[in-house]
Chains A and B, each alone.
Chain A
Amino acid sequence: MSALQIKKGSSKHSAYNLRPTFSDVQETHTITVLVENEPGVLARVIGLFSGRGYNIDSLTVAEVDHEGHLSRITIVTTGTPQVIEQIKAQLGRIVSVRDVHDLTAEGSSVERELALLKVASTGDKRVEALRLADIFRAQVVDSTLESFVFQLTGTPDKIDAFAELMRPLGLVQVARTGVAALARGKV
């Protein structure tokens, strides 16, 4: 027998601590996935994220090419660089996925989200809400004497900032679409 002995309590590390040599920095990436528009394709993508424990910060999906039966799914996700790489590779394995692009990693892109915010208030607060909406270039799409529904388009940060400002001014409901994104430039 060899001299190798196991000291009691010597295993401090879990075999499932899968990334000891990789960076721990959390990054947020926007990933755009072109998929064949067939039943269940969204379930495949979402099932991948839930099954493997990845985060979904936001997800949007809609058909983008009716003739070609293609939909685009835009996913904003957060993870270590290694997890982000895995997510892209795992997405690429799905048979109905045509291509996967990491807009955050592949140079500059435009990202937009649309939000509807209902603000119910009167008096000074109502005036202030309207004034701020103007600054943010939010549109009033519905109004009663005690409420507005604002429509705002922009980056998720801009929408966050606007919602934060509206909170003390009577914000009662928010609906957001999630991010749609494309790479800048010709292709």
Chain B
Amino acid sequence: MTRQMTGAKMVVQALKDQGVDTVFGYPGGAVLPIYDEIFQQNDIRHILVRHEQAAIHAAEGYARSTGKPGVALVTSGPGATNAVTGLTDALLDSIPIVVLSGQVPTFMIGSDAFQEADTVGITRPCTKHNWLVKETDKLSSIMHQAFHVATSGRPGPVLVDIPKDVQFATGEYTAKPQAPVGHYQPQVKGDLETITQLVEAIEKAEKPVFYTGGGVINSGPGASQLLRELVEATGFPITSTLMGLGAYPASGKAWLGMLGMHGLYEANLAMHGCDLMINIGARFDDRITGRLDAFSPRSKKAHIDIDPSSINKVIKADMPIVGDVGHVLEDVLKIWKARGRKVNREAIAKWWQQIEEWKKVKCLTYKQSETVIKPQYALERLEALTKGRDRYITTEVGQHQMWAAQYLGFEDPNRWMTSGGLGTMGYGFPASVGVQVAHPEALVINVAGEASWLMNMQEMGTAVQFNLPVKQFILNNERLGMVRQWQQLLHGERYSQSWSEALPDFVKLAEAFGAKGIICKDPKDLDDAIMEMLEHDGPVIFDCLVEKHENCFPMIPSGEPHNKMLLGDAQATNAIAGKGAVLV
């Protein structure tokens, strides 16, 4: 079916055809025709953010909490350049988002026109793919293709740049079923021969570990279900990256906790000592591997990933399986069951004994205080008081982020939104806005540091305008805590520029926006204050004044292997030396 309509109308029509219900955006000259169309309909809700970066993070939050692509709309020039951080964030974390940008009219491109920027040029390295639409006739099929590319294979951000004359002109609308999807069709089924090798390895393994990542979440809830079945049936221990939390429940008995630089002792030592590592949808990031030539030296490694370029990029895979996690796990289970569900029970039991020894170290122990709120304590209380609720957590970037990953438990996928790959301060607040828009009835909490939070604090306006009851739980140490920690460990305690001075009065700030502010500094008041936050029906800024110089442990110093973990301050002074110091 083809119909004649303007480019601007096509944009809205294509969004409807794609099942989009929400767009996060900010208007400007080059997108006025699209905004005019948005004005004249009621199917798609437009959430007016206060900064384009926030539109992208909100779209990411929407996408990660729903599994559907997030959509953002920005104007040309500064609107598009403001989107760059969010696009890069989504690229590194493989989040499906579709960003539409306005552009100066085609006949003015290249003339340094007002608010002209080479948007496709600037965003080429930070999108999975992008398009500059030069003819209205092609606009709708490009839009459909954009959704296809963003959501298939390894998901990622795409951008469609639409000149203003293309929005005004009339052309032929191509509906979704008629639109050519193009040649982009990533492989989803894994190689059965290698999968069989993996099953044989599972049958024989004496010290196996599942190492899972964001790929499990991206593959959909079915993949998490299959993962849980496989873990329960084999009895193998499982750890996960920051990105993969929730795919396997934190309350599950095989759960070791997160691994990596600030991962749990037992998780990292299991990785170091295992004889079979089954990587499912993770990418051997440097936060995970530490020093490469000492990474899990005695294990055979299987690597399941939908992106062939992830395989052998960093760590050599003995059993490389390119495919979608859900499809591959289905085949693994099928073959393993057909061969009699064998595992080396005796060896596995011994392996668990060893793991139990490691657990006894109780690596998350911290020194409690009667007088100041320890950040870890604040999160323990938050966890206790929100457990069992329909809860979504976002975070900013820093110590608080790592503590949140350590002390909060995630029972389901799509409940934990954090900037992993890019580590973008300013991500959490707008992401929480996006999550709340998608789940109006749910409890959405952004665990924040005071410094990160200030980076996108203008979104208070969005939260108040749209009645989004997001809870901004700020662990306020008046420090760029993670930076300060590195300066302590690495730079002789010279705390260059790593404190937060001239902080706002967060309670007054909340009130200035028409929201609720709560401040808490006494551990004895904490529970009541958290309950007050939870019970308030509306956005809240919670200023939780915490210990200023707390360090985040465990920590694998840069350039060190997993078994060289630091567990507490006693070990930490000047721990990172030599070449480790050049690493981030």
Interface, chain A (partner B; CB < 8 A): 1-2, 4-6, 8-18, 20-22, 36, 39-40, 43-44, 47, 51, 82, 85-86, 89-90, 92-96, 98
Contacts and interface: CB of A to CB of B under 8 A. Distances in A.
Nearest to A51: B125
B564 A14 contact: no
A18 B316 CA distance: 11
15 contacts: A4-B571, A6-B566, A11-B558, A11-B576, A13-B294, A15-B290, A15-B583, A17-B292, A20-B292, A21-B293, A22-B316, A40-B121, A40-B124, A89-B313, A95-B129
B557 A6 contact: yes
Contacts of A51: 125
A80 B566 CA distance: 35
Given A15-B289, A21-B316, A93 B578 contact: no
B224 to A, nearest CB: 25
B286 A15 contact: yes
A10 B292 contact: no
Interface stretch (B58-66, B304-312, B339-347): B304-312
Contacts of A22: 316
Interface in B164-212: 182-184
Contacts of A43: 121, 124
A6 B121 CA distance: 46
A104 B300 CA distance: 30
A22 to B, nearest CB: 7
Interface of B: 120-121, 124-125, 128-130, 132, 149, 154, 182-184, 265, 286, 289-294, 307-309, 311-314, 316, 361, 557-560, 563-568, 570-571, 574-580, 582-583
Given A2-B361, A93-B309, A98-B183, A14 B124 contact: no
B570 A1 contact: yes
Q: By CB atoms of chain A within 10 A, which of B128, B132, B294, B564 has the most? A: B564
A36 B154 CA distance: 20
Pick from A12, A15, A17, A95 the residue with the most CB of B within 10 Å.
A15
Nearest to A7: B577
B124 A20 contact: no
A21 B316 CA distance: 8
B307 A93 contact: yes
Given A13-B292, A98-B183, A1 B579 contact: no
Interface centre among B120, B121, B128, B579 (most CB of A within 10 A): B579
A11 B293 contact: no
Contacts of A20: 292-293
A55 B389 CA distance: 53
A1 B291 contact: no
Given A1-B570, A6-B557, A14 B308 contact: no
B577 A9 contact: yes
Contacts of B316: 21-22
A6 B578 CA distance: 12
A14 B582 contact: yes
B183 A12 contact: no
Contacts of B128: 95
Contacts of A47: 124-125
B583 A16 contact: yes
Given A5-B571, A40-B130, A86-B313, 10 more contacts: A2-B565, A4-B563, A8-B574, A9-B577, A10-B564, A10-B578, A11-B577, A13-B559, A14-B579, A93-B309
A93 B580 CA distance: 32
B579 A11 contact: yes
